[in-house]
Amino acid sequence: MRLVSPDQMRELDRRTIAELGLPAVVLMETAGRAIARAVLQRLGPPDGRLATVLAGAGNNGGDGFVAARVLHAAGFDVDVYGAGDPGRMSPETQVHYKAMRHHGLDCRWYRDVPKHPELQNLRRSLGRSAAIVDALAGIGPVDELHEPLRTFAAQLDGRHRALVVAADVPSGLCAVDGRVLGAAVRCDVVVTMGAAKAGLFLGNGPDLWDEIEVADIGIPPGWVTALEPVGRVIDAAAVRALLPLRPAVAHKGTCGHAFVVAGSPGKAGAALLASHAALRAGAGLVTLGTSGEVRGRLEAEVWDLLVEAVRGGASEAKRIEKLVQKKSALCVGPGLGTGAAEADLVQRLVAVTTVPVLLDADALHLLAQKPDVGEPARGRLVLTPHPGEMAALLATTVDAVEADRAKAAHAAAARFGAVVVLKGARTLIAAPDGAWAVWPRPNAALAKGGTGDVLAGLIGGLLAQGATPFAAACAGVGLHGLAGQKLRGHAGARGGTASDLLAQVVAVLAEIDGGEPVSGDGRASRSPG
């Protein structure tokens, strides 16, 4: 799914009005009807139940007035509350306000914070409602909501049993970056007009809604797809589009050779998980470079991998240079260790290779200490930090990273000239050119040691097949997330392991290669494609 900014959306509206001759009042009518339809589709016959519409004085309020009129005509009892100065309504909003009133509905306006009896009346109405429409603020605000909008938005904090439907974005959510602007509506459904807004998937945005519908209000779809999106949501369709092609005549020599440098005594599992993930992602060959001790234990037992003993030090320089020849991507760091020899090994690997390099785990520990280590691979580098590693990379705190994950990811991407995969409940990918994407679905089934090693291997395997760093990162995160959904379906939130996750990667890829729909754990509605 492509994400747009409020400015891009306003330009699309302007073009639709100017070039197609569709008046703003018609766009507002279409938007309001989409909101009402979302209510009616989910609640069925109104049977005289109550719907409450909260409307601002801006264009978002106009959408709400249309929805109120349509819901009333369908059979709902409708209460309408206005927040702001009705004298400041746009001409289009005034048209729909008058139309609503001519259909027998009125609006109780509040220019300031409702006094206690009035606030109690509003709360009673909300408490009795089967449906609530949030049409208070929309995509406009970027600073804290002023009163009475803030007080109105604060009422919809998830306490009501009603179906809550928001127009465009939950009011109080910044449509640019997902900040909460003092108070924000918690809703069940967002009906977003024309295209999804970036703030819905950044910051606090995903915590404020359960389902998104993109409503067609008359903007030509080609205009939306022609825009350079400010971001993308990763879903099954995106993964399909980003995976490297696999022709029927492919053989191991045409599918890339990944060099996974990982593992140390006590951490051989990380090396195996990352290496097998690279194979599962489709790499034709995978060489595991690991310590001599680990190699001695694994070589007779691991049939699918080539295994080499590697170590740091000047005496190994020529051998390291030879080992990276004819490799098409490097994945360095899972379980590698953080000693002086390992640090030297990482530096030598990055310095001598000319192919994409992914740094994970212990390699990120070195990069945080010596930021210039990544310079030779600038522009073909992928970093996969969790929040703690990201804090070290940026010399800040975990709290600061988590307070604005997008800002942190973009800062690291610019600093290191790398595609950055900031892991977490909603993994975020940022590129040095400002492009970004997000996996929006939290999944507690992935809260197990080793799942990050699987992710590193998946991305490394995709890099080895020729995917660009950004495409490999997005596709790898998507594969990892889709497999995690399947894992949760099979083993619940607790019972699965990282090796179980690998089996689910196979299942996802089988569905993708077979053209079958990729099934998840029932949360697909949170990120429609």
User: In this structure, which topology does domain 2-233 adopt according to CATH?
Assistant: Rossmann fold (3.40.50)
Q: Which amino acid is at 185?
A: V
Q: What are phi and psi of 2, to 5 degrees?
A: -85, 140
Q: Are the CB atoms for 87 and 167 separated by under 8 Å?
A: no
The torsion angles phi and psi of 335, rounded to 5 degrees, stand at 65, 20
Would you place residue 523 in the very low, low, confident or very high pLDDT band (cuts 50, 70, 90)?
Answer: very low
Q: Quick check: helix, strand or coil at residue 180?
A: strand
* Cα–Cα distances in angstroms (integers) from residue 91 to residues 24, 32, 62, 84, 87, in the given order: 9, 16, 10, 16, 10
Is the pLDDT reported for residue 297 higher than 90? no
Angle between helices 91-102 and 59-74 (to 10 degrees): 20
What is the SS3 assignment for 505?
Answer: helix
Q: Is the pLDDT of residue 378 over 70?
A: yes
Q: What pLDDT does residue 213 have?
A: 96
Task: Give residue 524's pLDDT band: very low, low, confident or very high (50, 70, 90).
Answer: very low
pLDDT at residue 296, rounded to an integer: 86
Helix (H, G, I), strand (E, B) or coil at 528: coil
**CATH 3.40.1190.20 spans which residues of the chain?**
236-437+445-515
Answer yes or no: are the C-beta atoms of 474 and 234 closer than 8 Å: yes
pLDDT digits (tens, 9 = 90+) for 401-441: 998 899 999 999 999 999 999 999 999 999 999 999 999 88
Q: How remote is the C-alpha of 333 from its chain's centroid?
A: 25
User: How many Cα atoms sit within 13 Å of 387 on the Cβ side?
Assistant: 15
pLDDT at 517 (0 to 100): 58
What order do you get walking across the sheet with 50-56 strand by strand? Answer: 108-110, 77-83, 50-56, 131-135, 163-167, 189-193, 211-215
Q: CA 163, 164, 167, 169 torsion: positive or negative? A: negative
Where are the domain boundaries for CATH 3.40.50.10260 in the chain? 2-233
**CA-CA distance, 414 to 428, in Å (whole number)?**
15
Lowest mean pLDDT across 83-97, 231-245, 300-314: 300-314
Structure tokens at 164: 């809550």
Given a contact cutoff of 8 angstroms between Cβ atoms, the answer to whether 195 and 228 are in contact is no
Alpha-carbon distance of 124 to 239, in angstroms, equals: 46
User: Is pLDDT of 299 > 80?
Assistant: no
The alpha carbon of 246 is separated from its chain's Cα centroid by a whole number of angstroms, namely: 27
The predicted model gives 99-120 an average pLDDT of: 92
**pLDDT bucket at 518, cuts 50 / 70 / 90:** low
| pLDDT beyond 90 at 222 | yes
Question: What is the Cα–Cα distance from 93 to 184, expressed in whole angstroms?
Answer: 23
Question: Mean pLDDT for the chain?
Answer: 93
Rounded alpha-carbon distances, angstroms, from residue 148 to 114, 135, 156, 375, 397 = 7, 13, 14, 52, 36
β pairing state of 306-309 and 285-290:
parallel
Instruction: Please give the torsion angle defined by the CA atoms of residues 179, 204, 480 and 326, in that order, rounded to the nearest 10 degrees.
Output: 20
Helices 24-43 and 59-74: crossing angle, nearest 10°?
Answer: 50
pLDDT above 60 for 49: yes
Average pLDDT (285-292) is 94
Integer-rounded Cα Rg, in Å, for the chain is 26
The C-alpha atoms of residue 365 and residue 270 are separated, in whole angstroms, by: 16
Average pLDDT over residues 377-400: 97
**What's the CA gap between 256 and 247, in Å, rounded?**
13
* CATH numeric code, 236-437+445-515: 3.40.1190.20
Which DSSP symbol is given to 144? P
CA nearest neighbour of 429 among 465, 478, 394, 367: 478
Q: Is the model's pLDDT at 377 over the cut of 80?
A: yes
Confidence (pTM):
0.87
Task: Give the pLDDT score at 403.
Answer: 87
Closest by Cα among 355, 358, 348 to 316: 348
Beta strands in 329-401 (DSSP E): 329-332, 357-359, 381-383
Six-digit token string for 527:
């990120």
Secondary structure, 3-state, 70-131: HHHHHCCEEEEEEECCHHHCCHHHHHHHHHHHHCCCCCEEECCCCCHHHHHHHHHHHHHCCE
Per-residue pLDDT tens over the stretch 465-486: 999 999 999 999 999 999 999 9
Decide if pLDDT at 525 tops 50. no
* Helices and strands counted in the chain (H then E): 19, 19
Q: Which pLDDT does position 521 carry in this prediction?
A: 42
pLDDT(302) > 80: yes
Maximal C-alpha separation, the chain = 88
> Is residue 148 reached through a cis peptide bond, with omega within 30 degrees of 0 on the bond before it?
yes
